[in-house]
A and B are shown apart, each in its own frame.
Chain A
């Protein structure tokens, strides 16, 4: 039996997942309302087209619904897992459209910024803080490091493909990925300290 919407809204993501596994539409709806915006934004960032982003997001959420509560908490948060499902779908979509180049900018800031503070939940506020930290960390990376990370994560390219695209030795590409991620990680750690 479906839980009532109000009850579902009080549950943490990890508590919603077993309900989603039992085919509770209200629990699933709450999950979408919490993360659908981030999912659509990520899909749009990768595929660069609104109609395609909508298709990718819908497919990703339907796969989550139909695969039930197949979430493993040892792999991170529900949100991270959901977004990884979206990312994989979006990359598959890009690959199916051979020749489509990914968008490569981090500068397109934020419809979110236009929202009123009162609309934001505490979780959302924390996410905004994290997002701001990550954007800050990325902005501070040398362009050569952020570019290889973008091509890999948002473009779905392998390190050897990136080496060909940029005309660099593969070792250089891997080294830049490493340096870039270490800097982001270091800044995240500082933010938590």
Chain B
């Protein structure tokens, strides 16, 4: 890559770290950064400036009732968890919101995509070897699931860089319902990303979506990974 090419992309980096690029522009820059160490280096240099901006605001004393109502909600949640330890908190959250997963639009879309993913994998691009399942996904991502006791480790390679306000979130589908895996993850500079799924019992499909920082309670986008789990 020549200097003028680099300079053209480099001009977008400040807007990118400020979250001020349009989605298509951010995606194009991320694709470029995948192969441009200079841009990645410049981005890493600029990011701390943005991360310190919240520290610049004048301090306001939060109202006391904010802490009280927040902790009341948190303790009620914790008590509810304690009453039904075998029930996934995600399942109960969705149930509480009337979002029975099997009928929710986003989840139907996810499950439908999972079937497509399985067919792709079944077309000669997937392989299974005992406790390890490997699946090559559309988009150049390779997924490896390694069983570990009741759970498993999900390893992705070939993942494009994410903007700073996005993370990867894994979801599992079992008994017709989709649950979030409570650990967000991001790809490293080599496009490798890894997360652990603590309980794989009864899981039929594993999916990964890009979600806003902090994760989502329900999937907000199309999965970048869908992998059927051999039963």
Contacts and interface: CB of A to CB of B under 8 A. Distances in A.
B62 A181 contact: no
Contacts of A64: 214
A71 B50 contact: no
Contact of B11 (A36, A54, A65, A175): A175
Nearest to B17: A181
A87 B21 CA distance: 16
B165 interface: yes
A33 B77 CA distance: 19
Interface residues of A, number: 82
Contacts of B151: none
Given A44-B60, A69-B183, A177 B48 contact: no
A69 B77 CA distance: 15
A112 interface: yes
Contacts of A152: 15, 18-20
Interface of A: 2, 21, 23-25, 28-29, 32-33, 36-42, 44-45, 50, 53-54, 57-58, 60-72, 74-76, 80-81, 83-88, 106, 108-112, 127, 130-131, 133-135, 138, 149, 152-154, 156-160, 162, 171, 173-175, 177-178, 180-182, 184-185, 188
Closest A-B pairs by Cβ, 5 of them: A112-B59, A40-B62, A68-B182, A70-B184, A178-B14
14 contacts: A32-B67, A33-B67, A40-B62, A67-B217, A70-B167, A72-B186, A76-B51, A84-B51, A152-B15, A156-B19, A159-B20, A159-B21, A175-B11, A182-B49
